[in-house]
Amino acid sequence: MLKMEEWLLIRDLYSQGLNISEISERTGYDRKTVRKYLQLKTLPEPQKRPPRPSKLDPYKPYLLEKINEKHYTAARLFREIQKMGFDGGETIVKDFVRTVRPKQGVPAVLRYETKPGVQAQVDWGELGTVEVDGKLKKLFCFSMILGYSRMRYVECTLSIDTFTLIQCHLNAFQYFGGCTQEILYDNMKQVVIKRAMKSSDSEWNSQYEDFFKHYGFIPRLCRPYRPQTKGKIENTIGYVKRDFFLGREFSSLESLNNQALEWLKRVNSSIHGTTHEIPLERFKNEKEKLNLLNQVPRYKVVKTETRKISRDCYISYLGNKYSVPYKFAGRTAKLQIFEGKFEVYVDYEKVCEHEILPGNCRVTRKKEHFKGLLSEILNENSKCKKSPHILLKFSGLEVEKRSLDVYETFSDGGLE
């Protein structure tokens, strides 16, 4: 089909007096073609060819459903349809998702890159709700990313208190094998009580201050209302939601965090979209230059919670039951939780301790906690049999005593 310029050229030559043969000779087009386009008053619209069948066609309804349901990543959708039998490449999936996903404009920012070992970024993200001990609780995600290598660590929690924040830091330090010189936060109350113009002059949460001084790293605060200052971690939170959490099934918090560790193995071994390098490769061989943990003793962080001891001598914690010595049944206990276990105190007396069980609906029963309970119950029962509780007492019938004069009166004919 001729273009608009070529059609106009043929018409112009014809208007100059050239015949079809001359126009054909000058333009190189066949005389039938010249005659055909001279007869047209307007240039016909090009006919679109029907699209060729694609390997992705059978999976497009599923992809559209998932895209409308949640903001899944194209990489995750590619993995899902692979399991369904798709044998094409990831690029075709990304191209399709890009065309059907709604476009969202974002303000421009200036990216700030950090040197190896200098900075990590931390944030929390809320994932939804889960049922624990018959109650709905919010589920949160702790995330830390190393600024240079982009190595990630994530952990799901049921709380965002200072104890949990510090424990997640310890787990992240252990995962990375060290910590950076400084860590960047937003203005979370678990870290800072009162922010100053200069971060070092801020009033820190006392428990958190004790923690960062113990390991010697410097906390930094991003500028207020400028979440892009923590752009690396903000992207990580959204990425965790879309690529890992949405649509995932799990039976317990431990199960979810085990799945998160498997997910981390994959993402930390995949090419990063910004650096175009594999985070694990940038991290290993001491490229990240972290401060090693073996230079200081491990920080012990203790969390305190209150529990009511049931009549059957158990307390409940994170969906599991733990026995307590029977003489404390019905009392209020305080739990001191640290390093995967907890100690139980009643009136400042330590009565027992337990390792925290994984999963839920499990029971830990220590025999010594119930030793003597059966004999005590039997003794109480025997006391009840020996001295039964009498509700009513019936006395014997008493015969009324009368004077003999009464009977003589009746024998004489009765009273008048």
DSSP codes, 118-161 = TEEEEEEEEEEEEEETTEEEEEEEEEEEETTT--EEEEEES--S
Identify the pLDDT of residue 264: 94
The reply to whether 108 falls in a domain is no
Other beta carbons within 10 Å of 245: 21
The reply to whether 153 falls in a domain is yes
Question: What is the distance between the alpha carbons of residues 379 and 359, in angstroms, rounded to a whole number?
Answer: 39
Question: What is the distance between the alpha carbons of residues 35 and 30, in angstroms, rounded to a whole number?
Answer: 9
Summarised one tens digit per residue, pLDDT across range 270-292 is: 988 888 889 999 998 667 889 88
Identify the pLDDT of residue 25: 86
The reply to whether 280 falls in a domain is yes
- Residues of the chain with pLDDT > 90: what percent? 33
Clarify whether residues 194 and 253 are in a common domain: yes
Clarify whether residues 136 and 19 are in a common domain: no
Other beta carbons within 10 Å of 183: 21
Identify the pLDDT of residue 12: 81
Identify the pLDDT of residue 296: 83
The reply to whether 324 falls in a domain is yes
Based on its alpha-carbon atoms, the radius of gyration of the chain, rounded to whole angstroms, reads 41
CA angle in degrees (0–180, nearest 5) for 219-224-229: 65
Clarify whether residues 271 and 328 are in a common domain: no
Domain membership of residue 11 as a residue range:
4-38
Clarify whether residues 195 and 263 are in a common domain: yes
Is the distance from CB of 160 to CB of 140 less than 8 angstroms? yes
Averaged pLDDT for residues 46-74: 82
Summarised one tens digit per residue, pLDDT across range 106-142 is: 555 545 577 888 999 998 888 888 877 677 889 999 9
- Domain count within the chain: 3
Question: What is the distance between the alpha carbons of residues 110 and 112, in angstroms, rounded to a whole number?
Answer: 6
| CATH number of the domain residue 158 falls in | 3.30.420.10
Clarify whether residues 279 and 311 are in a common domain: no
Identify the pLDDT of residue 363: 94
Clarify whether residues 318 and 179 are in a common domain: no
pLDDT band at residue 415 under the 50/70/90 scheme: very low
Clarify whether residues 124 and 242 are in a common domain: yes
Averaged pLDDT for residues 228-253: 73
Segment among 93-97, 181-185, 245-249, 407-411 with least mean pLDDT? 407-411
Signed CA dihedral, 309, 313, 317, 322: sign only: positive
Identify the pLDDT of residue 223: 67
Is the distance from CB of 311 to CB of 330 less than 8 angstroms? yes
Task: Point out the domain boundary residue: 331, 354, 370.
Answer: 370
The reply to whether 193 falls in a domain is yes
Clarify whether residues 185 and 245 are in a common domain: yes
Clarify whether residues 162 and 261 are in a common domain: yes
Clarify whether residues 216 and 358 are in a common domain: no
Question: What is the distance between the alpha carbons of residues 214 and 148, in angstroms, rounded to a whole number?
Answer: 24
Question: What is the distance between the alpha carbons of residues 275 and 113, in angstroms, rounded to a whole number?
Answer: 10
Tokens of 23: 């126009």
pLDDT band at residue 416 under the 50/70/90 scheme: very low
Top-confidence residue, 363 or 376: 363
Tokens of 15: 């208007």
Q: Which residue has the tokens 């509780």?
A: 389
Is the distance from CB of 153 to CB of 171 less than 8 angstroms? yes
Top-confidence residue, 80 or 114: 80
User: Which phi-psi region, left, alpha or beta, contains residue 164 (left: φ > 0; alpha: ψ -120 to 50)?
Assistant: alpha
pLDDT band at residue 378 under the 50/70/90 scheme: confident
Top-confidence residue, 312 or 46: 312
Examine the pLDDT at 392 and tell me if it is beyond 60.
no
CB neighbour list of residue 164: distance below 8 Å, 6 or more residues apart:
142, 157, 303
Task: Point out the domain boundary residue: 370, 391, 406.
Answer: 370
Clarify whether residues 132 and 245 are in a common domain: yes
Question: What is the distance between the alpha carbons of residues 146 and 268, in angstroms, rounded to a whole number?
Answer: 11
The reply to whether 53 falls in a domain is no
- Residues β-bridged to residue 4: none
Clarify whether residues 356 and 223 are in a common domain: no
Examine the pLDDT at 332 and tell me if it is beyond 90.
yes
Segment among 50-54, 79-83, 341-345 with least mean pLDDT? 50-54
Examine the pLDDT at 4 and tell me if it is beyond 80.
no
The reply to whether 239 falls in a domain is yes
Averaged pLDDT for residues 375-390: 69
Identify the pLDDT of residue 411: 56
Task: Point out the domain boundary residue: 295, 321, 346.
Answer: 295
Top-confidence residue, 44 or 343: 343
Examine the pLDDT at 217 and tell me if it is beyond 90.
yes
The reply to whether 195 falls in a domain is yes
